[in-house]
Chains A and B, each alone.
Chain A
Amino acid sequence: MIRETQLHFEVLVIGGGPAGMAAAARAAECDVRVGIVDDNFKLGGQIWRGQSEDKTSDSKQSTEASKWVERLSAAGVTSLCGLRVVHQPVAGVLLAENLDGFCELTYEKLILATGARERFLPFPGWTLPNVMGAGGLQAMVKCGLPIRGKRVIVAGTGPLLLAVAAYLREHGAEIPLISEQASWGNLARFGAALLGWPAKIIQGVQLKRSLAGIPFAANSWPLAAHGEQTLKSVTISRAGRVETIPCDYLACGFHLVPNIELPLLLGCALVNGCVQVDDFQRTTVASIFCTGEPTSIGGVELALVEGQIAGLASVGRTAEARALFGERHKARRFAQLLDRTFRLRPELRSLPLPETIVCRCEDVSHSRLREHTSWRSAKLHTRCGMGPCQGRICGAALQFLFKWKPDSVRPPVFPARVETLAATAGELNCNTAKG
């Protein structure tokens, strides 16, 4: 366990999903000292969570995941799991903590691969226990939640819904409905455009097989979740009709939003809400690279190729990095396709009732937010976005509901223990005095 230590790496990667793993492996294979940090207790990110143990599921993903795990270990990458970066006390130094202590991380080159989270939209009852993210419920099942025989409605938008429904059914859940807000027109165009990606077609066919028999509704979204202490049923709007379906869980996510808080804290510029990078995945801050979902929501293929480019570029292997540009270009076109297909429909803005909670940390209702014209104003008057998640959940909803821009990021980027922040301040002062 880490306690008040300092660790230095030639290349430090923050985020242990596909992008971070690919970056760390490619850099370390060039004989430099590489460290990879992840908040979770294992590498793999959300998409590869539990893949190495789960032999029942999607074998291609498992193979890909174990391939990168092997490369990391063969190249001697130091992996630091269960460790979360919370602050940059001075430029070039990151402060990270785990359950037991904290450490300082320093680097020559930094690669940010912080991934994405689900977008949640408020509707009546969405705060009830057992209403969860689609990826959220899948993560719980991967972490041991028994799902056999449970009824799960899968709702929201994006390709994740299908993958989650297939996974849950494989593990014995009953899926009464997949409710997708996108229109049939958008989905048909998406299907046609997939012809440009043969690998996606194969994945799609496999998915279709595992989804056979599950009712799927487009133009559909949850209107309300019902129950007292926990979820009992969900009311769904389905192509203009309204129906209430009993269930044990609602797995509901509205596609993904990039985790840009750490890049922002470090001063990286954004473009269209994502971290701005050049051809070699360099951000606007010297020695800092960014890769994967924070640069655009594009899925695992894009994350892997961007990660490799960042890893190679970070150690000066520009020719090898350049050889991957074509592959990345293709994967980025898929990201644009996702964005067009699963864009949120305006009707979803009217889902919350006046009393519906929007900020779950501080229990701020929609009616209290409507009076404000900016997130800053709402923060000051209602504490919306000032709880422990620091606006990570309500922020994306506010952006959609009220078109409010994200507020600036302040350190620490995650709630940190006072002793972590205080002790480091003291230590740094000492070091400065000695120097």
Chain B
Amino acid sequence: MPSSVASDQVTLTVNGAPVVVPFAATVAVAMMIAGQACRTSVNGEPRGPLCGMGICFECRVTIDGKVHCRSCQVLCEQGMEVNTEK
């Protein structure tokens, strides 16, 4: 797994597509830059971050296969694979 090099940007994939984000951006920010919902609600609505501080759980995503990660509390890493939670 390559670690992020000394650069001001990081590339990761969101739902399979590459996204470039500023260094030290959170995964929630990457989802918003990619224009992708973080999760799909019980009734099937798209949801994105609400509180920005780890309380609301609306921004939870799957990161490198790990489910229910609150994306606002995780920093992006080079090569990370993030998916909308269904």
Contacts and interface: CB of A to CB of B under 8 A. Distances in A.
Interface of A: 39-41, 46, 82, 84, 99, 117-118, 120, 127, 129-133, 135-140, 143-146, 229-230, 259, 357, 360-363, 387-389, 392-393, 415
B29 A140 contact: yes
With most chain B CB atoms within 10 A of its CB, the pick from A120, A136, A144 is A144
A143 B72 CA distance: 9
B68 A145 contact: no
Nearest to A50: B24
Given A360-B47, A363-B42, 4 more contacts: A99-B69, A118-B51, A140-B28, A144-B24
Interface residues of B, number: 36
Contacts of B69: 99
11 contacts: A46-B53, A99-B66, A129-B37, A130-B48, A135-B51, A137-B52, A360-B50, A361-B57, A363-B41, A363-B42, A393-B56
B49 A132 contact: yes
Interface of B: 21-22, 24-26, 28-29, 32-33, 35, 37, 41-43, 45-58, 60, 66, 68-69, 72-75
A387 B51 contact: no
A129 B26 contact: no
Contacts of A387: 57
Given A117-B53, A136-B50, A360 B41 contact: yes
B58 to A, nearest CB: 6
B41 A146 contact: no
CB-CB nearest 3 A-B residue pairs: A144-B25, A129-B48, A139-B52
Contact of A363 (B29, B43, B51): B43
A388 B73 contact: no
Contacts of A118: 51
A363 B72 contact: no
Contact of B42 (A39, A117, A120, A362): A362
A360 B57 CA distance: 10
Contacts of B26: 140, 143-144
B20 to A, nearest CB: 11
Contacts of A388: 57, 60, 68
B33 to A, nearest CB: 7
Nearest to B25: A144
B75 A41 contact: yes
B52 A138 contact: yes
Contacts of B32: 130, 140, 145
A230 B35 contact: yes
Contacts of B37: 129, 229
Contacts of A140: 26, 28-29, 32, 49, 52, 72
Contacts of A136: 49-53
B3 to A, nearest CB: 14
Contacts of B48: 129-130, 132, 230
A392 B29 contact: no
A62 B56 CA distance: 27
Contacts of B33: 145-146
B28 A363 contact: no
- With most chain A CB atoms within 10 A of its CB, the pick from B22, B29, B56, B60 is B56
Nearest to A365: B43
A133 B50 contact: yes
B22 A144 contact: yes
Nearest to A261: B55
B69 to A, nearest CB: 7
Contact of A135 (B28, B53, B66): B53
Task: Output the residue of B52, B54, B69, B74 with the most chain A CB within 10 A.
Answer: B52
A135 B55 CA distance: 12
A117 B73 contact: no
A415 B55 CA distance: 11
A340 B7 CA distance: 49
B82 to A, nearest CB: 14
A52 B53 CA distance: 18
Contacts of B57: 361, 387-389, 415
A143 B25 contact: yes
Contact of A133 (B24, B52, B66, B74): B52
Given A143-B26, A363-B41, A389 B52 contact: no
Nearest to A259: B55
A357 B54 CA distance: 21
Contacts of B74: 99
A199 B66 CA distance: 47
A392 B60 CA distance: 15
B68 to A, nearest CB: 7
A131 B45 CA distance: 14
Nearest to A135: B52
Contact of B46 (A40, A137, A229, A393): A229
